Amino acid sequence: MASASAPTTLSLLPSSSSSSSSTRTRSSVLVHLPSSGLRSVGIRRLGFSAADPVFASHVASKHHSSGKAVRGVVSMAKKSVGDLSAADLKGKKVFVRADLNVPLDDSQNITDDTRIRAAIPTIKHLIDNGAKVILSSHLGRPKGVTPKFSLAPLVPRLSELLGIQVLKADDCIGPEVEKLVASLPEGGVLLLENVRFYKEEEKNEPEFAKKLASLADLFVNDAFGTAHRAHASTEGVTKFLKPSVAGFLLQKELDYLVGAVSTPKRPFAAIVGGSKVSSKIGVIESLLEKCDILLLGGGMIFTFYKAQGLSVGSSLVEEDKLGLATSLLEKAKAKGVSLLLPTDVVIADKFSPDANSKIVPASAIPDGWMGLDIGPDSIKTFSDALETTQTVIWNGPMGVFEFDKFAVGTEAIAKKLAELSNKKVTTIIGGGDSVAAVEKVGVAEAMSHISTGGGASLELLEGKVLPGVLALDEAVPITVAFNSGLRFHQRKMNCYHYLLRLLSGTHRGMNAE
């Protein structure tokens, strides 16, 4: 659950990391919060954490584009559904955006209900307080109305978990939906049809957002897995519904992924595997700024080996990323990050569960063979390194874990993390295949945090701002103090609008004054 202790002063901290004189700090900004008032409203830190260097860079680069050389960090407090009282909720129609994008088999059976279970606490809180819940989600990436992407198969599981019969609408806007909403009792739940059946959803068209919003009195966004999308049901509706607040799942995800990773207990290790070097380069680069130990496994290691001049046989390689791999190795060295590549690998004569396999040193992969897992020496080295840590984040399996023969490295790391979790090490797993891997090994429960958002968690780790979070109301209006050189200005303002102006480069309060 989110931290209930409120920071009393949130700082736009001067950063010393910039090497460019053009981006060096010339101003500092303090954001003062009335401490007693904050505690009384149960403020929760959401979205951005103080002193996050990656976010600092992000803010700075945006702000620099306006010609104002200010580098800093903004910490924001988003209003939570837990901050709404029973009086705020009783009889109110609440538009809840959840991410119920669950996998279904060919017979429309749910094969993993993690996202449905994760959405329950917020819905239950609302119905227990007498609200009328209008539940919205997408499923898959349909092009127009597509029956196989209907949310209907989710109704039985939702009803079972909530202990009430969930109603289902055949659309997400329009007169029929309005009728169902009008007859919804207090404590009732109406599941709208897949919001992506309308192309206006992903285009974030205001008229469509307005129609969705017209169904309700207030908005709760609990769709962490979709928080990196600025869609009508995640971002657009906030323009028409007040308050717009965070749900418990969104809050919990951000607590771990922003809180634990921006100010981690150290030593802090990241394990990055999987198959797509290109989609994970941003993560590796940003993790080099943050972590003490970086362990690489999976299909991406062969690009690093090849970049070092080793033979990799027919292993997976992204040729156009060789230069980048070299620069990442150099960057790790310069930053003093302990970047470990596997010293031995399990190789196969074909990409198949029944391939012939053998273990070889990483420097001795023969032609015609491909690396599909990390070897036993590497497992030992990685396990020893992990023993020293206090926080571990894992994204991407160590090998082709779908084939039992090449699942040993992934399973060993999963078990090691479970063991460390029991020793109070913070363990965070993100990414669809990584979560599937820990589920397969049966250790998901042991981990500190399993993220319901693959893309969203990666974007957070890269230091990106999630539009679905940014759009939510902040907990309280706050006092912002500007200190610009010798001048000092103080004004009360809304932190959300302040941040928006800072990000968009339209803030003119510092050097301009």
Ligand X SMILES: Nc1ncnc2c1ncn2[C@@H]1O[C@H](COP(=O)(O)OP(=O)(O)O)[C@@H](O)[C@H]1O
- The set of catalytic residues is 115, 276, 432, 455
Pairwise CA distance, residues 166 & 465, whole Å: 34
Residue pointed to by tokens 């609440």 = 94
Least gap, CB of 465 to ligand X15 (angstroms)? 17
Longest dimension (CA), the chain: 72
Q: Which among ligand X15, ligand X, none contacts residue 355 (Cβ within 5 to 8 A by kind)? A: none
Residue of 469, 506, 498 lying closest to 47 (CA atoms):
469
Q: Could you say which residues in the range 431-450 bind ligand X15, by CB under 6 A?
A: 432
3-state secondary structure of 425: coil
Q: Exposed, middle or buried, 422 (CB in 10 Å: 0-12/13-18/19+)?
A: exposed
Backbone angles phi, psi at 456, to 5 degrees: -65, -40
- Contact region for ligand X15 (CB under 6 A) — 51-59, 222-230, 291-299, 329-337? 222-230
Q: Smaller CB distance to ligand X: residue 312 or 510?
A: 312
Packed helices 277-290 and 454-461: angle between N→C axes, nearest 10 degrees: 40
Closer residue to ligand X in complex, CB, 219/302: 302
Residue 299 binds which one of ligand X, ligand X15, none, with CB within 5 to 8 A depending on kind? ligand X
25 vs 224: CA distance, rounded Å? 33
Q: For CA atoms 118, 95, 459, 292, give the dihedral sign.
A: negative
Task: Determine contact, residues 95/219, Cβ cutoff 8 Å.
Answer: yes
Residue 463 near which of ligand X15, ligand X, none (CB within 5-8 Å, type-dependent):
none
Is residue 192 within 8 A of residue 169, CB to CB? The reply is yes
Q: Is 99 in the site for ligand X15 (CB under 6 A)?
A: yes
Give min distance, CB of 151 to ligand X, in A. Answer: 24
Pairing of strands 167-168, 189-191: parallel
Which residue lies nearer to ligand X by CB, 43 or 429?
429
| Alpha carbon distance 87, 343 (integer Å) | 61
Work out how close the CB of 458 gets to ligand X at its nearest, in angstroms, rounded to a whole number.
8
Q: Does 226 bind ligand X15 (CB under 6 A)?
A: yes
Nearest to ligand X of 82, 396 (CB atom): 396
Q: Which does 221 bind (CB under 5 to 8 A by kind): ligand X, ligand X15, none?
A: none
Shortest Cβ distance from residue 226 to ligand X15 (Å)? 5
Question: Considering beta carbons, is residue 142 or 259 the nearer one to ligand X15?
Answer: 142
Q: Check residue 141 for interaction with ligand X15 (CB under 6 A).
A: yes
Q: Cα separations (Å) of 397 from 74, 300, 429?
A: 34, 10, 10
266 CB-contact burial (10 Å; exposed 0-12 / middle 13-18 / buried 19+): middle
Provide the minimum distance between the beta carbon of 300 and ligand X in the complex, in angstroms, as a whole number.
8
Is residue 454 part of the contact set for ligand X15 (CB under 6 A)? yes
Nearest to 117 by CA among 245, 225, 249: 249
| Residue 225 interacting with ligand X15 (CB under 6 A) | yes
**433 contact choice in ligand X15, ligand X, none (CB below 5 to 8 Å, kind-dependent):** ligand X
- What DSSP element (H or E) covers 288? helix 277-290
Could you tell me how far CA 155 lies from the centroid of its own chain? 26
Sequence-distant (≥ 6) Cβ neighbours of residue 309 within 8 angstroms:
none
The nearest distance, CB 490 to ligand X, in angstroms, is: 46
The item of ligand X15, ligand X, none sharing an interface with residue 99, based on CB under 5 to 8 Å by kind, is ligand X15
Q: How far is the CB of 143 from ligand X15 (least distance, A)?
A: 12
CB-wise, 59 or 393, nearer to ligand X15? Answer: 393
Our CB check for ligand X15 shows the closer of 15 and 101 to be: 101
Distance CA 302, CA 370 (A): 9
Report the residue closest to ligand X, judged by CB. 274
Total residues at interface with ligand X15 (CB under 6 A): 10
Which is closer to ligand X, CB of 430 or CB of 509?
Answer: 430
Considering the rule CB under 6 A, would residue 455 count as an interface residue with ligand X15? yes
**In the complex, which residues of this chain contact ligand X (CB under 6 A)?**
273-276, 298-299, 316, 371-372, 395-397, 399-400, 402, 431-434, 454
Which lies closer to ligand X via its Cβ, residue 219 or residue 224? 224
Residue 134: CB minimum distance to ligand X15, A? 19
Interaction partner, residue 397 (ligand X15, ligand X, none; CB < 5-8 Å by kind): ligand X
Residue 396 touches which member of ligand X, ligand X15, none, C-beta under 5-8 Å by kind = ligand X
HSE-up of residue 133 (Cα within 13 Å, Cβ side): 34
**Closest approach of ligand X to the CB of residue 299, in Å:** 3
Partner from ligand X, ligand X15, none binding residue 47, C-beta < 5-8 Å depending on class: none
Collapsing DSSP to helix, strand or coil, 503 comes out as helix
Give the number of other CB atoms < 10 A from CB of residue 308: 13
Instruction: Give the CA-trace dihedral at 84, 86, 91, 96, to 10 degrees.
Output: 40
Residue with tokens 């538009």: 95
User: Which residues would be at the binding site for ligand X15 (CB under 6 A)?
Assistant: 99, 101, 141, 225-226, 229, 432, 453-455
